[in-house]
Amino acid sequence: MSKGIVLLAAGGTGGHVFPAEALAFKLKERGYSVHLVTDSRAERYAGKFPAEEIHVVPSATIGSKNPVAVARSLWTLWSGMRAAKKLIQRLRPVIVVGFGGYPTVPPLLAATRLGVPSMIHEQNAVMGRANKALATRVQAIAGGFLPEGGAAFPDKTVTTGNPVRPAIIAAAEVPYTPSHPGEAFNLVVFGGSQGAQYFSKALPTAISLLDDALRVRLRITQQVRPEDMEMVSGCVAKLEMGADIAPFFTDMAERLAKAHLVICRSGASTVSEISVIGRPAVLVPYPHALDHDQAANAAALAVTGGAKVIAQSELSPEKIAAILTAVMNDPEKLSHMAAAAKLAGKPDAANLLADMVEAIAAGRTIAEFKRTRA
């Protein structure tokens, strides 16, 4: 018999849906039924998201200054809130949990108006606009990187970390093995669609600048956009070196486990996964990220010594070559960075988040929940 329904709300992007999915699996293990509220973009995840049902309610973001567009968005939000209210009254969930993105706004507003327990999870070190709008209304805030003491809402914030997928938990069992001079050096390079474009241009040039003795040691895994495949593959062929180049890797967790160094963007999930596995990284925040959240995420790992953060504007191929030259000749430094990264990781984030959900659903306060953790 189910302990009750938990209604999860998430915007239809991987950054919002994946943490919700990890929590959903934990809640199902604990005997809850899970429903998901999202937008039509999340249909691509419907096959693996462990929800009894996936609901789509109208929603919109108010990003335009055009009065007509603003009025249209407000009407859509009002319609979405009415639909969410009917959904909540029908499902009678024990709690509604939001994971960011504008589709979370109608169900969370409806929940707070109906007196249903509610909380949000913020993946980034900087709170997104949707979560910021909801923060004053919900009972609790879980943070991937949000500091409990320094958060805007310290009395209701708990730093749970970001839940990561099972493959990452398995990869975390693989110890970091340094690459000594003369041995193969595994370099993993990846980013989002925008990030992959930048790395596709910068990395081949940087590698061409390396001494031959270093270049022959490199074994590269690089994620590139489909339109960049031919260019990057051609560069790698000219350099006559070992490399796996692809738009997507289904075994990225295993490749990260074997990595001696990672060069990547600093989205919340990426930083969380690197720290859970415990791998040294050069983080290059996406310069056009909203609210500069990637820079803040990167700083959270850099402060532990687990990563080096470099702005894209300062990262030339020559600098990448210099970094690779330095670290490939200093395995001890990379070992220290790997250990520091792992200390910052939160492999139990999904369990802690599930504990928090159960506590708020049962009517406990955040102060009571924090006392149980002390």
C-beta neighbour count of 99 within 10 angstroms: 28
User: Is 11 a known ligand-binding residue?
Assistant: no
The alpha carbon torsion through 322, 342, 199, 45 (nearest 10 deg) reads 180
User: Is 215 a known ligand-binding residue?
Assistant: no
Supply 257's token pair: 């486990």
User: Is 165 a known ligand-binding residue?
Assistant: yes
User: Is 313 a known ligand-binding residue?
Assistant: no
Supply 25's token pair: 């699996």
| Distance, CA of 110 to CA of 112 (rounded, Å) | 6
Place of tokens 């509604």: 96
SS (H, E, C) the chain: CCCCEEEEECCCCHHHHHHHHHHHHHHHHCCCEEEEEECHHHHHHCCCCCCCEEEECCCCCCCCCCHHHHHHHHHHHHHHHHHHHHHHHHHCCCEEEECCCHHHHHHHHHHHHHCCCEEEEECCCCCCHHHHHHCCCCCEEEECCCCCCCCCCCCCEEECCCCCCHHHHHHCCCCCCCCCCCCCEEEEEECCHHHHHHHHHHHHHHHHCCCHHHHCCEEEEEECCHHHHHHHHHHHHHHCCEEEEECCCCCHHHHHHHCCEEEECCCHHHHHHHHHHCCCEEECCCCCCHHHHHHHHHHHHHCCCCEEECCHHHCCHHHHHHHHHHHHCCHHHHHHHHHHHHHHCCCCHHHHHHHHHHHHHCCCCHHHHHHHHC
User: Is 143 a known ligand-binding residue?
Assistant: no
User: Is 270 a known ligand-binding residue?
Assistant: no
User: Is 195 a known ligand-binding residue?
Assistant: no
Place of tokens 């306060």: 365
Binding site, annotated residues = 13-15, 124, 165, 193, 294
Binding site, annotated residues for UDP-N-acetyl-alpha-D-glucosamine = 13-15, 124, 165, 193, 294
